Structure 1
Amino acid sequence: MNFRRMNSEDQTDVIAIQEEITRRSVTDQWREMLGDHVDNPLRPAFVADEEGQVVGFILGEIKVGEFGNELSGWLGMVGVKPNHMGRGTGAHLAEELFRDFKGKKVQEVFTAVPWDSGDMLAFFKNLGFDRSAFINLQLGL
């Protein structure tokens, strides 16, 4: 399996993975957000490619000045085709993202997980994540 930066040609495959995982069509806003990750050093994205087919993706973001940190990395989304889960694809994608963050002098990486998503919590704990000093807050508009 090959792990590499996402390019514009990968977007169709990434959208298909997201739709397969969520069982619904992505919105135009989601497509636009995905496009913002192509060739954007502050929004790195990587894919897992197996024999020319994208089987997983990860989207990150570097934020400046968030929560008192000069630079912080955010793991925004990771997706792996269901028939490729459990093979370490997501973990390898995270390693690529973290390597990119380190190269840009990021020292802390954050993410958010639904409180009742045990499988996602386990995945992130296996990557070394733990609770942070921050609490997610929400405001409905």
Structure 2
Amino acid sequence: MNLRPMQQKDLPEVKRIQDRITRQEVSQSWVDMLAAHVDKTYRLGFVAEEDGEVRGFILGEIKIGGFGTELSGWLELLGVEPRLMGSGVGAALVETLFAALWGRGVREIYTAVRWDSGDMLAFFKKIGFDKSPFINLRFEQPL
């Protein structure tokens, strides 16, 4: 498996994986967000490729002075071809993102997971994530 930075040419394959994961077509806004992680300094994107096909992807970001930390890394999104979940693709992508973040001086890496997403919570716990000092808050625009 080849782990490498995401390129513009990968966007259709990454979108296809996300469509399969969500079981619906993602929006153009999602594709635009994805494209913002290609060749950027503070936004990172990597893919896992095998036999010329993208098998998974990961997106991350470096925040400077955000959320009370001087410098932090954020794992924003991780997607693996559904039939390959549990095969190590996700863990390999996480290792690749972490190495890139550490190489840029980041020492703390965060992510957010829905509290009712047991499979994702278990995955992140298995690779070393634990509770953070943050509490996620939400504001919803009134109707």
Given the two structures, how large is their TM-score scaled by the length of structure 1? 0.98
The within-5 A match list for 1:17-28 is: 17-28=17-28
Task: In structure 2, list runs of 5 or more residues that go unmatched.
Answer: none
Q: Distance in 1 between matches of 2:76 and 2:24?
A: 19
The within-5 A match list for 1:85-96 is: 85-96=85-96
The within-5 A match list for 1:1-141 is: 1-141=1-141
Secondary structure in 2 matching 1:107: coil
Q: Distance in 1 between matches of 2:127 and 2:42?
A: 22
Secondary structure in 2 matching 1:83: helix
Runs of 4+ aligned residues of structure 1 deviating over 2 Å after TM superposition are none
Q: Distance in 1 between matches of 2:41 and 2:124?
A: 23
Q: Distance in 1 between matches of 2:30 and 2:22?
A: 13
Q: Distance in 2 between matches of 1:24 and 1:87?
A: 23
Deviations 1:7-39 (A, max 9, x none): 000000000000000011111110110010010
**One-letter amino acid matched to 1:14:** V
Secondary structure in 1 matching 2:90: helix
Report % sequence identity: 56
Task: In structure 1, list runs of 5 or more residues that go unmatched.
Answer: none
**One-letter amino acid matched to 2:58:** I
The root-mean-square deviation of aligned C-alpha atoms, in Å, is: 0.6
Given the two structures, how large is their TM-score scaled by the length of structure 2? 0.97
**One-letter amino acid matched to 1:109:** I
